[in-house]
Amino acid sequence: MKRILVTGSAGQIGSELIPELRKKYGKDNVIATDIRKDPPLSIIDGEYEILDCLDRKKIFQFVKEFKIDTIYHLAALLSGVAEAKPDLAWKINIDGLYNVLEVARELNCSVFTPSSIGAFGPTTPPDKTPQDTIQRPTSMYGVTKVSGELLCDYYFKRFKVDTRGVRYPGIISNVTLPGGGTTDYAVDIYYKAIQEGKFTCNIKKGTFMDMMYMPDAIEAAIQVMEAPAENLQHRNAFNVTAMTFDPEMIAASIKKYLPDFKMDYQIDPIKQDIAESWPNSLDDSAARKEWNWNPKYDLDAMTKDMLFVLQKRLNPES
Ligand code: SER
């Protein structure tokens, strides 16, 4: 049985990955860590420790003490925050990853690291973006993501550390808010649809980005780590996607269930600039071929589930 340590567990992905990992590998085999002293309830039914990924000594100590063999390294800043705080983004997204890789090298752990559609840039072919293509991102987030992909490849090639990862698109979820990403509008829209019946979108109509519902994102993280090594030609940074849409399409999907829903626009120029530099749609055939990636949720299936879950939680009386 794997012994897993997760960094950044209190974030959007961690708060839903932890329960799934505990279900699959056993509660006692998954240590959740984060810098937050008030972590979400979903992750504190098992071991929870305060851990800053900038503290290499403490990572080393935990990995040794808990006999960890697999690290899911989720601690990172998203694109909007990274653009506002580039210095901190470099520290967390690069120095943090470097610390984890060094500990993994010394103590022989496998490492999962999420990359992102942010690893692409304006000169990348935007439609059906290939697995291996031009990567010249123009955001600080993108710079850290490409560097992270390369660093993970290097640790595998040079030190045989079993590094793996996926390039996540925007992830839509209903447990923990993402906080600071360019694709966050596609999460916020569901909350506002339930709470206010209307939404002001900060991304322009006609701006397409890849997206994915959280259950598929969790499945991707577990599946790529479980894949037999001999099947992997790529290791880190597999393109994965489940759908692509622009703001009008997600609004239309919501209207199928809430016909009175209204949307207007107030564009955030920094996020719009980032969104335009990212692909419209990814080609994820390498993930499909090498480890059977096969997402379950399309836009309408996701909308139905999001609205159902949020309705029950935010408006239990109605
Ligand atoms: N959801 C992320 C962001 O918008 C992209 O990986 O920053």
Separation CA 163–CA 235 (nearest Å): 7
Tell me the pLDDT tens digit for each residue of 229-263: 999 999 999 999 999 999 999 999 999 999 999 99
Q: For ligand 1, atom 6, name the residue with the nearest CA.
A: 116
Please measure the distance between the N-terminal and C-terminal CA atoms of the chain and give it in whole angstroms: 44
Task: Determine whether the shortest distance from the Cβ of 168 to ligand 1 is under 6 A.
Answer: yes
Tell me the pLDDT tens digit for each residue of 150-159: 999 999 999 9
Strands (E), 1-81: 4-7, 30-34, 48-50, 70-73
Task: Determine whether the shortest distance from the Cβ of 79 to ligand 1 is under 6 A.
Answer: yes
- The fold of the 4-169+212-239 domain, in CATH, is Rossmann fold (3.40.50)
Q: Which residues of 237-275 are buried (b: 16+ CB within 10 A; e: fewer)?
A: bbbbbbbbbbbeebbebbeeeeeebebeeebbeebeebb
Domain boundaries, the chain: 4-169+212-239, 171-211+243-280+297-314
Pocket test for ligand 1, best of 117, 146, 172, 188 (most atoms within 8 A of CB): 117
Asked if 79 and 181 touch (Cβ cutoff 8 Å), the reply is yes
Sequence-separated (6 or more) residues with CB below 8 Å from residue 212: 168, 169, 170, 171, 172, 220, 240, 241, 242, 243, 295, 297
Mean pLDDT, residues 113-123: 98
CA distances from 65 to 3, 6, 48, 75, 195 (A): 11, 14, 14, 21, 45
pLDDT above 90 covers a percentage of the chain that reads 97
Task: Determine whether the shortest distance from the Cβ of 181 to ligand 1 is under 6 A.
Answer: yes
- pTM of this structure: 0.97
Q: Dihedral (C-alpha) 290, 293, 294, 298: value to the nearest 10 degrees?
A: -130
Active site residue 141: yes
pLDDT confidence band for 179 (50 / 70 / 90)? confident
Domain 171-211+243-280+297-314: give its CATH architecture: Alpha-Beta Complex (3.90)
Task: Determine whether the shortest distance from the Cβ of 185 to ligand 1 is under 6 A.
Answer: no
Q: For ligand 1, atom 2, name the residue with the nearest CA.
A: 181
Rg (CA), the chain: 19
Flag whether pLDDT at 317 surpasses 80.
no
- How far is the centre of ligand 1, averaged over its atoms, from the C-alpha of 213 (Å)? 13
Q: What is the mean pLDDT of the chain?
A: 97
One of 48, 98, 141, 191 is an active-site residue; which one?
141
Asked if 135 and 119 touch (Cβ cutoff 8 Å), the reply is yes
CA distances from 256 to 91, 183, 208, 299 (A): 44, 22, 20, 12
pLDDT at 174: 96
Place of tokens 């850290």: 144
pLDDT at 115: 98
Flag whether pLDDT at 67 surpasses 90.
yes
- How far is the centre of ligand 1, averaged over its atoms, from the C-alpha of 144 (Å)? 12
| Residue-level length of the chain | 318
Give the 3-state secondary structure of residue 268: coil
Ligand 1 atom at minimal distance to the Cα of residue 168: 6
- How far is the centre of ligand 1, averaged over its atoms, from the C-alpha of 170 (Å)? 5
